[in-house]
Amino acid sequence: MLKHVAGILGLLLAVNAVADTVYVTLEKDNALAVVDGEAGTLIKTMTVGQRPRGILLSKDGSQLYVATSDDDTIKILDAETLTEIGQLPSGEDPETFAQSPDGTLLYVSNEDDNQVTVIDIKQRKVVARIPVGVEPEAVAVSPDNKWVASASETTNMVHWIDPESHQVVANTLVDPRPRGASFSADGKQLWVTSEMAGSLMIIDVVSKKIIKKLTLSIPTVSEDKIEPVGVVIDAAQQWAYVAMGPANRVAVINAQTLEVEKFLLVGQRVWHLAFSPDQKRLYTTNGVSNDISIIDLDTHKVIKSVAVGRYPWGVVSRP
Amino acid sequence: MNQLFKYFFIIGLLWVEIQYSVVADEKQKISIVFLSQEKQVPAALSNLDAFIQHKGFKGAEMAIADNNTTGQFTGQYFELKPVIVPLGESVLAAFKRHAVDSDLFVVNVSDNQLLKLADLDEAKNKLIFDAVSRADELRNEFCRNNVLHLLPSRAMRADALAQYMLKKRWRKWFLVVGPTEDDKRFAQALRRAAERFGMDIVAEKQWLHTYDARRTAQSDVPVFTQDVPDYDVLVVADEQGLFGEYLSYRTWLPRLVIGTQGLIATAWHRTHEQWGAVQMQNRFKDYAGRWMEEEDYGAYLAVRAIGEAATRTQSNKVGAIKAYLLSDEFALQGYKGRPLSFRRWDGQLRQPVLLAAARSLVAVAPLEGFLHPKTELDSLGYDQPETLCHPGE
């Protein structure tokens, strides 16, 4: 009887949650891990290129873009077969990048050259190189395609690039070593993390001014271990999540009140985050413990950790 | 039509030129003097590492470029003025000559000269960034409130090594001290660390240079290390590198060497790759054509600290810059995974210390488990309650 109930419950759960596939870059294994997001199991790992870091899914969901930093390129993989179908001229040592809302352009940070490279994905050609501050890392495109925001780690600024003219038209000084940047779904806010100050800044896109700064702190963790990196905001703008690096936690932030609600303990040195397509789950890459954590977003509980390989870095999910 | 276009084009160019010069004139200028005295090339054990004059200058230059990249967005312009003092000439005179040029000095001079510089009347309202010294005395009884120290003190280095030895349970030390005054100072820091971390110096010997044609490293070191009680690890203080490299593989008992040779404690090392350090190593090598030395890192941080303070305060005044550097807001990114800041009690830059072997980074201190009520970084070196620095009293 009990078995039956459990079976039916299992079935119900399976029907409710939408299955997805999670792709994780493994910086030290030169590989890509493929995980069943719903079951929380590793399906396989495959060699992808040297020092893979940033990863994105194309807007139509058919391709994966993977920055293989030590190959100085961004590889295009067929999302179904995971075979390489081309490469993009990313410039040296590509790490993070963002897509234009229509999926035609890629904006790549080139840390060593202090510039953002704009690539036409279809043509596989460089369209522009935009000089920015020292060591640009985080890059994000606003949903209305009005702004490309590039944050430079040593200059400590967000550079506001006009995608039409490819010019930096405004700058916002932020806390030291900005690492993550995401626009809210309505395009009105840009959320930026500072690794060195342990803070999260919410910038008003119109005025380009910081409207709220949250200094993240946890009583049991020393201040200098709080080094936020990745930040994501859900489509409904209810919740935002910040990966806190060596503090080994994800901060859950109410996106309406802009206050921290709780901290979730995940694996060690958590850097990047990705939603499942239905936004029911959040995946975190934990670089030092070599796993990803799966967070259930209805209950805000960590439900599973999946060992994936050495130095998991970037993560995306696909239906 | 074509002609007309050209005409407009030239007008346009002129316009851009005018705009640019106006902007350049309006920029706030921050001048920094890099003061360095030429050094006598010291005797060396081998020709593997070439002697580098004016260490730090390339680091300072790179930081100026970084500051100016930021400056183009903040309307500030940073200028680095190198002042190179030839061997035998007076550093003090050079400082006085250039006192009008800037209030901010990054210096690579001897410990004695640094103290004399800081005490000059002309230096009263200056801020001196010491990019090279390790002296604990300059951070304690001889500290000056117009000096900031960028590199870890000898005490910080010794504590970093001691933390690692405690973690490895290498409690019994055989301390070998070289003949120079600096070696004795580092030995003193090591003794302090041994006491702090409950280590036992079971034997201590001074290395004497004797010149006898029949003696070689191969025969000398076993004899030198033979007649001592059993020990876990040989701890060496040889800052100039006159004999320390001879010790490894040649001791009577098979023991590891740690200190100034073997496993060393340093602010920067070519094996360091974490926390964005790879970018820094690559950028420096491209720029200078050699690996970044500790002193380059010190000078880089000094100029970056000035840049950070000037950007945040939008000021080129030494008072505002100094106040910001010593405030809680100041957090410098130094490629070591933690924000760096200055200890208010002695002007020492708080920072992790790397423990490096020739080709591998072994650990980064403070090690896990060495706790501190404020920041674990203050488990290295002289903490506030211990400081002998009380300027103005």
Chain B residues in contact with chain A using a Cβ-Cβ cutoff of 8 Å: 66, 69-70, 73-74, 276, 279, 282-283, 304, 308, 311-312, 331-333, 337-339, 375-377
Provide the domain count of chain A: 1
Q: What are phi and psi of A111, to 5 degrees?
A: -60, -40
| Residue B240 · residue B179 · CB < 8 Å | no
Handedness of CA B364, B365, B370, B374 (dihedral sign): negative
B71 found inside a domain: yes
Look at B333 and A197 and tell me if their CB atoms are within 8 Å. no
- pLDDT of A221 reads 86
Is the CB of residue A175 less than 8 Å away from at least one CB of chain B? yes
Is the CB of residue A134 less than 8 Å away from at least one CB of chain B? yes
Tell me the helices (H) and strands (E) count for chain B, helix number first: 10, 14
* A22-51 residue pLDDT tens: 999 999 999 999 999 999 999 999 999 999
Separation of alpha carbons A89 and A65, rounded Å: 12
- pLDDT of B383 reads 96
Is the CB of residue A155 less than 8 Å away from at least one CB of chain B? yes
B233 found inside a domain: yes
Domain around A134: 89-173
Strand blocks (E) in B143-262? 147-149, 172-177, 200-206, 233-237, 256-259
- pLDDT of B20 reads 44
Same domain, B243 and B290: no
N-term to C-term CA, chain B: 79
- pLDDT of A266 reads 97
Q: Mind telling me how many Å the CA of B337 is from chain A's nearest CA?
A: 8
B19 found inside a domain: no
| Model confidence at B255: pLDDT above 60 | yes
* B286-326 residue pLDDT tens: 999 999 999 999 999 999 999 999 999 999 999 999 999 99
Same domain, B147 and B183: no
Counting one residue from chain A and one from chain B, the pairs whose CB atoms sit within 8 A come to 61
Same domain, B205 and B260: yes
| Residue B98 · residue B334 · CB < 8 Å | no
Chain A CB contacts of B333 under 8 Å are: 153-154, 176-177, 195-196
| Model confidence at B211: pLDDT above 80 | no
Average pLDDT in the B44-71 region? 89
- pLDDT of B208 reads 83
A37 contacts: CB under 8 Å, gap ≥ 6 = A19, A20, A21, A22, A276, A281, A283, A294, A317
Separation of alpha carbons A37 and A53, rounded Å: 20
Same domain, B160 and B309: no
| Residue A58 · residue A41 · CB < 8 Å | no
| Model confidence at B58: pLDDT above 90 | yes
- pLDDT of B18 reads 44
| Residue B181 · residue B163 · CB < 8 Å | no
ipTM: 0.74
| Residue B68 · residue B77 · CB < 8 Å | yes
The CA distances from residue B46 to A91, B53, B74, B108, B256, in Å, are 40, 17, 48, 24, 21
A241 found inside a domain: no
Give the CATH number of the domain where residue B300 resides: 3.40.50.2300
Percent of chain B with pLDDT over 90: 77
Query: Could you say which of B70, B279, B332 has the minimum Cβ distance to residue A133?
Result: B70
| Model confidence at A16: pLDDT above 70 | no
B261 found inside a domain: yes
| Model confidence at A132: pLDDT above 60 | yes
Point out the domain boundary residue: B266, B282, B305: B266
Query: Could you say which of B69, B332, B376 has the minimum Cβ distance to residue A134?
Result: B69
Q: How confident is the model at residue B275 (pLDDT cuts 50, 70, 90)?
A: confident
Strand blocks (E) in chain B? 28-37, 76-85, 104-108, 127-130, 147-149, 172-177, 200-206, 233-237, 256-259, 263-266, 341-342, 349-350, 353-357, 360-365
Look at B74 and A134 and tell me if their CB atoms are within 8 Å. no
Separation of alpha carbons A205 and A148, rounded Å: 11
- pLDDT of A195 reads 92
Average pLDDT in the A125-152 region? 96
Buried residues in B130-159 as b, exposed as e (16+ CB within 10 A): bbbbbbbebbbebbbebbbbbbbbbbbbbb
A145 found inside a domain: yes
A134 found inside a domain: yes
Look at A112 and B69 and tell me if their CB atoms are within 8 Å. no
Look at B308 and A171 and tell me if their CB atoms are within 8 Å. no
Separation of alpha carbons A223 and B145, rounded Å: 27
Which region among B4-8, B116-120, B151-155, B342-346 has the lowest average model confidence (pLDDT)? B4-8
Give the CATH number of the domain where residue A121 resides: 2.40.10.480
In a mutational test of the A interface, the residue from B279, B308, B325, B328 whose CB has the highest number of chain A CBs within 10 Å is B279
Region for B179 from its dihedrals, namely left if φ exceeds 0, alpha if ψ lies in -120 to 50, beta otherwise: alpha
User: In what order do the strands lie in the sheet containing A239-243?
Assistant: A231-233, A239-243, A249-254, A259-265
Separation of alpha carbons B176 and B259, rounded Å: 10
B139 found inside a domain: yes
Domain around B58: 26-152+269-350
β-bridge partners, A302: A295
Percent of chain A with pLDDT over 90: 87
Same domain, B120 and B72: yes
| Residue A271 · residue A249 · CB < 8 Å | no
The token pair that represents A206 in the structure block = 């119109």
Same domain, B128 and B38: yes
Look at B279 and A156 and tell me if their CB atoms are within 8 Å. no
Same domain, B174 and B306: no
pTM: 0.84
Among all chains, which residue has been given the structure tokens 């958590």? A270
Separation of alpha carbons A55 and A32, rounded Å: 10
Select from A197, A84, A164, A280 the least CA-distant residue to B329. Answer: A197
B110 found inside a domain: yes
Chain A CB contacts of B376 under 8 Å are: 222, 224
| Residue A90 · residue A71 · CB < 8 Å | no
Chain A CB contacts of B312 under 8 Å are: 173
| Model confidence at B284: pLDDT above 70 | yes
Provide the domain count of chain B: 2
Average pLDDT in the A181-199 region? 96
A256 found inside a domain: no
- Angle made by CA atoms B271, A177, A291, in degrees to the nearest 5: 65
Same domain, B211 and B108: no
Percent of chain A with pLDDT over 70: 95
Select from B299, B289, B230 the least CA-distant residue to B268. Answer: B299
Select from B256, B297, B102 the least CA-distant residue to B174. Answer: B256
Same domain, B216 and B200: yes
A132 found inside a domain: yes
| Residue B177 · residue B204 · CB < 8 Å | yes
The token pair that represents B74 in the structure block = 């903040």
Tell me the helices (H) and strands (E) count for chain A, helix number first: 1, 28
Mean of per-residue pLDDT scores for chain B: 91
Point out the domain boundary residue: B211, B233, B266: B266
Point out the domain boundary residue: B266, B299, B323: B266
| Model confidence at B6: pLDDT above 70 | no
Same domain, B207 and B220: yes
Chain B CB contacts of A246 under 8 Å are: 337
B277 found inside a domain: yes
In a mutational test of the B interface, the residue from A27, A72, A134 whose CB has the highest number of chain B CBs within 10 Å is A134
Look at B376 and A222 and tell me if their CB atoms are within 8 Å. yes
Q: How confident is the model at residue B1 (pLDDT cuts 50, 70, 90)?
A: very low
Same domain, B108 and B240: no
| Model confidence at B17: pLDDT above 50 | no
Look at A111 and B66 and tell me if their CB atoms are within 8 Å. no
* A237-283 residue pLDDT tens: 999 999 999 999 999 999 999 999 999 999 999 999 999 999 999 99
The single-letter code of the amino acid at A10 is: G
* A116-129 residue pLDDT tens: 999 999 999 999 99
B41 found inside a domain: yes
The token pair that represents B55 in the structure block = 């260490």
| Residue A169 · residue A210 · CB < 8 Å | no
Same domain, B168 and B118: no
Chain A CB contacts of B332 under 8 Å are: 176, 196
